[in-house]
């Protein structure tokens, strides 16, 4: 595949991803998920060079740790900001790229969700709700865009990376100890689920594919 790596403000990070990809023809594009017009313009730019796109992965996300009992700290501005990125953004992305997806032979949309959508446990109440809304969007679009376009959610639990690195070690240890597979997910685990959704599950749509090591089964 030729991959377009979207970014919000950190073009250098997107370029670093492109540098790791095998093959040629990859590029970066500014794709702020809260700017629907910008997404439409990127789609038009891609359409100038390609007749179709095979896969759209909506992986942008935003949150801020807020204790679930602290209702005042979860103010309207933060709620709107989270939903604008985590739900409205993926919908706007699908809307912008839908015609290019329709032109592909077997197109797939993958939305990166979270087990917080099901457990109600996460960085804050609005984040959990936004991911539940994203899973609902996955099911709705799977019905609305089928049979041509498949739509799935890949739903990780804790993933080792930049966000987890900001957390206290004892929190990560507690999550790991309560996970039946006795470790936390890696970016490669999530990538494998995305790849399987695209390549290996041709009769799967509207499904939520978890990548959590069985964490909801463990003790809290």
Whether residue 147 is preceded by a cis peptide bond, meaning omega within 30 degrees of 0, is yes
Lowest-confidence region among 80-94, 114-128, 167-181: 167-181
What are the DSSP calls for 22-54, one per residue? SSS--EEEE--TT-HHHHHHHHHHHHTT-S--S
Average pLDDT over residues 84-101: 98
Query: Hey, which residues does 211 pair with through a beta bridge?
Result: 156
- Whether residue 124 is contained in a domain is answered as yes
175 pLDDT higher than 90: no
Please state the domain count of the chain: 1
Angle at 17 between CA 11 and CA 22, to 5 degrees: 140
Percent of the chain that is helix, strand, coil (3-state, to 5): 45, 15, 40
Pair type for strands 150-156 and 108-112: parallel
Starting at the edge strand found earlier in the chain, the sheet holding 150-156 runs 55-58, 108-112, 150-156, 208-211
172 pLDDT higher than 90: no
- Whether residue 52 is contained in a domain is answered as yes
- Whether residue 106 is contained in a domain is answered as yes
Domain CATH for 153 = 3.40.50.720
Structural domain boundaries enclosing 136: 31-157+188-211
Q: Is the pTM of this model over 0.75?
A: yes
- Whether residue 6 is contained in a domain is answered as no
pLDDT in tens, 2-33: 999 999 999 999 999 999 999 999 999 999 99
173 pLDDT higher than 90: no
Lowest-confidence region among 21-25, 137-141, 194-198, 211-215: 211-215
The confidence band for 219, taking pLDDT boundaries of 50, 70 and 90, is low
Contact present, 53 and 104 (Cβ < 8 Å): yes
- Whether residue 4 is contained in a domain is answered as no
The confidence band for 169, taking pLDDT boundaries of 50, 70 and 90, is confident
| Dist CA 49 CA 35 (whole Å) | 22
216 pLDDT higher than 70: yes
Q: Is the dihedral of CA 154, 160, 164, 169 positive or negative?
A: positive
- Whether residue 48 is contained in a domain is answered as yes
Instruction: Point out the residues that are catalytic.
Output: 127
- Whether residue 22 is contained in a domain is answered as no
- Whether residue 42 is contained in a domain is answered as yes
């Amino acid at each position: 595949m030729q991959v377009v790596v979207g970014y919000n403000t950190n073009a250098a990070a997107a370029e670093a991803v492109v540098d790791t990809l095998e093959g040629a023809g990859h590029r970066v594009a500014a794709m702020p998920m809260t700017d629907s017009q910008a997404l439409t313009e990127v789609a038009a730019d891609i359409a100038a060079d390609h007749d179709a796109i095979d896969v759209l992965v909506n992986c942008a996300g935003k949150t801020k740790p807020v204790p679930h009992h602290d209702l005042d700290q979860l103010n309207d501005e933060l709620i709107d900001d989270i939903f604008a990125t985590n739900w409205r953004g993926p919908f706007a992305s699908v809307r912008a790229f839908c015609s290019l997806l329709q032109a592909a032979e077997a197109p797939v949309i993958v939305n990166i969700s979270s087990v917080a959508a099901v457990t109600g446990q996460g960085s804050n109440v609005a984040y959990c709700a936004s991911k539940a809304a994203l899973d609902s969007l996955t099911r709705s679009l799977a019905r609305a865009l089928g049979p041509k376009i498949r739509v799935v959610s890949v739903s990780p639990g804790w993933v080792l990376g930049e966000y987890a690195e900001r957390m206290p070690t004892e929190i990560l240890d507690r999550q790991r100890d309560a996970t039946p597979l006795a470790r936390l997910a890696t970016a490669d685990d999530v990538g494998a689920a995305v790849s399987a959704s695209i390549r290996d599950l041709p009769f799967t749509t509207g499904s939520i594919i978890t990548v959590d090591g069985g964490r909801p089964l463990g003790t809290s």
